[in-house]
């Protein structure tokens, strides 16, 4: 990803220095176990650590790149440079292993490292949503279906809904990390013909992974498909919340607004503009992350025990998906933390449609006073349509409708237009959502 949408703690995971460090640890831990099994000399395994355990400086990286330019093989280039560091004993490195043992295990380590950062991001977002939800728990606002006024909710309830959604996403991310954190040190076509399975178990334990039950020559790509699909779902939830904020910031609504800092400018042409640029940006970034789930799924169908059609895909989507999602989650957290809420405007909008939001309660009350549901609907709707046509407010019109007043006493009718009726169970919902 471009620096504009990147954070250094995430991009560093995908830099060559970290990748080669992981490759070295895979090889060195494998050598330790091979020495323990008597396959290679113990002194040779020790020398791999003593001489090869050095930072991957730019000079070392440049040397690997130079060798790769000649041999056209990244793992061979890495092993060549490592041999230059270790010396003659390097002949015992990579015993019985194949390139995919290094590449796939490293990729999963990197994905696990990236996921740990994403989980921290999720925790910060959840904390922000919870804080703002409780702050606005009792702030009534309009609930909408199809974009049209429906019945009252509270703004805190809206945020609680998103909290619950991102809590589910966090659980999905934990599951995705668990599924992706596997290790394969099984050799060519995955039969362990030239390396003992205990080497894989040893390396897995050292790297915080689990042995892959069966890896052919690669770790099965359905794991990666599920991982990137989980990232795509999280991205969709980011867009869900961003879209809600964008709609609520429209000039005709303006119930909430992204924080507009001093000195910020909204338009090069119109000085009055205060645009929802952050949530619009998040909508775009969500599309990027989501788009990477499809090639991950297409990577599942490899030829026989292995081909490398997945490799070029993963070299792109691994960094891009995690770096983009990390940035998006932190940006969304900032939006939520600093979101400006306008309760007075919410109250204005609640009263904008002349009491239409109470239509269902009137309908239900008529049925309780002996009117069929069909007739109740017809009676309320004909009055509601007059409100839409600006012929009065719903309560006043109902008071002049004998089909209503002959059934519902006047004091009972007026009591139906009580906002608190619609918010009386908010505490119950909050107790469910924030039970943790």
Out of 12, 267, 309, 372, the active site residue is 267
Backbone phi, then psi, for 197, in 5-degree steps? -55, -25
Q: Indicate which residue of 6, 29, 94, 146 is catalytic.
A: 146
Burial annotation 34-47 (CB, 10 A radius, 16+ → b, else e): bbeeebbeeebbeb
C-alpha torsion sign, points 172, 248, 135, 149? negative
Helix 155-180 / helix 426-433 crossing angle, nearest 10 deg:
20
Residues 354, 396: Cα–Cα separation, whole Å: 9
Collect all residues with Cβ–Cβ distance below 8 Å to 134 and sequence separation of at least 6.
Answer: 156, 430
Q: What residues are paired with 340 via a beta bridge?
A: 257
Collapsing DSSP states into helix, strand and coil, what is residue 176?
helix
Distance CA 336, CA 238 (A): 11
Q: Is 210 helix (H, G, I), strand (E, B) or coil?
A: strand
CB-CB contact of 154 with 136 (8 Å): yes
Structure tokens at 44: 């040779």
Cβ neighbours of 91 (radius 10 Å): 12
Residues 357, 352: Cα–Cα separation, whole Å: 10
Residue 186: active-site member = no
- 210-211 vs 182-183, strand pairing mode: parallel
* CA atoms of 300 and 222, how far apart (whole Å): 5
Q: For residue 78, which phi and psi values (nearest 5 degrees)?
A: -65, -45
From the list 83, 13, 10, 95, the residue with the least C-alpha distance to 52 is 83
Told to judge if 145 belongs to the known catalytic residues of this protein, a careful annotator would answer no
Query: Are the CB atoms for 31 and 45 separated by under 8 Å?
Result: yes
Find how far residue 419's CA is from the centre of its chain: 35
The answer to whether the CB of 228 falls within 8 A of the CB of 296 is yes
Cβ atoms of 355 and 391 closer than 8 Å: no
Rounded Cα distance, 419 and 371, in Å: 24
d(CA 45, CA 408): 90
Answer whether 269's CB lies under 8 Å from 204's CB: no
Give the catalytic positions in this structure: 146, 267
């Amino acid at each position: 990803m471009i620096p504009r949408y990147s954070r250094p703690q995430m991009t560093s995971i995908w830099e060559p220095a970290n990748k080669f460090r992981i490759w070295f640890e895979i090889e060195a831990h494998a050598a330790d176990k091979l020495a323990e099994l008597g396959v290679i000399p113990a002194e040779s395994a020790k020398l791999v650590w003593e001489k090869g355990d050095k930072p991957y400086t730019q000079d070392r990286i440049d040397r690997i790149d130079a060798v790769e330019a000649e041999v056209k093989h990244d793992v061979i280039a890495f092993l060549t440079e490592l041999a230059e560091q270790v010396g003659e004993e390097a002949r015992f490195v990579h015993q019985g292993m194949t390139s995919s043992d290094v590449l796939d295990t490293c990729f999963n380590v990197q994905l696990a490292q990236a996921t740990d950062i994403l989980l921290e991001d999720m925790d910060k977002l959840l904390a922000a949503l919870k804080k703002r939800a409780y702050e606005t728990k009792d702030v009534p606002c309009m609930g909408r279906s199809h974009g049209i006024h429906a019945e009252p909710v509270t703004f805190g309830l809206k945020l609680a809904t998103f909290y619950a959604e991102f809590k589910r996403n966090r659980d999905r991310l934990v599951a995705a990390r668990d599924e992706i954190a596997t290790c394969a040190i099984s050799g060519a076509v995955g039969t362990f013909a030239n390396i003992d399975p205990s080497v894989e178990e040893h390396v897995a334990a050292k790297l915080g992974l689990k042995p892959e039950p069966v890896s052919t020559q690669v770790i099965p790509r359905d794991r990666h498909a599920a991982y990137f699909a989980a990232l795509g779902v999280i991205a969709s939830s980011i867009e869900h919340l961003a879209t809600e904020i964008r709609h609520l910031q429209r000039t005709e609504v303006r119930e909430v607004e992204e924080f507009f800092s001093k000195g910020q400018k909204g338009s090069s042409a119109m000085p009055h503009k205060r645009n929802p640029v952050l949530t619009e940006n998040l909508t775009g970034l969500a599309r990027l992350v989501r788009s990477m789930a499809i090639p991950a799924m297409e990577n599942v169908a490899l030829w026989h025990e292995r081909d490398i059609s997945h490799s070029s895909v993963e070299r792109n989507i691994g960094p891009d998906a995690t770096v983009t999602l990390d940035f998006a989650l932190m940006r969304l957290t900032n939006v939520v933390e600093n979101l400006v809420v306008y309760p007075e405007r919410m109250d204005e909008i609640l009263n904008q449609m002349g009491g239409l939001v109470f239509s269902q309660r009137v309908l239900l009350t008529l049925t309780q006073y002996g009117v069929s549901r069909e007739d109740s609907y017809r009676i309320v709707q004909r009055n509601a349509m007059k409100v839409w046509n600006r012929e009065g407010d719903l309560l006043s019109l109902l008071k002049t409708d004998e089909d209503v007043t002959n059934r519902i006493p006047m004091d009972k009718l007026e009591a139906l237009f009580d906002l608190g009726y619609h918010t009386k169970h908010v505490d119950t919902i909050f107790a469910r959502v924030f039970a943790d």
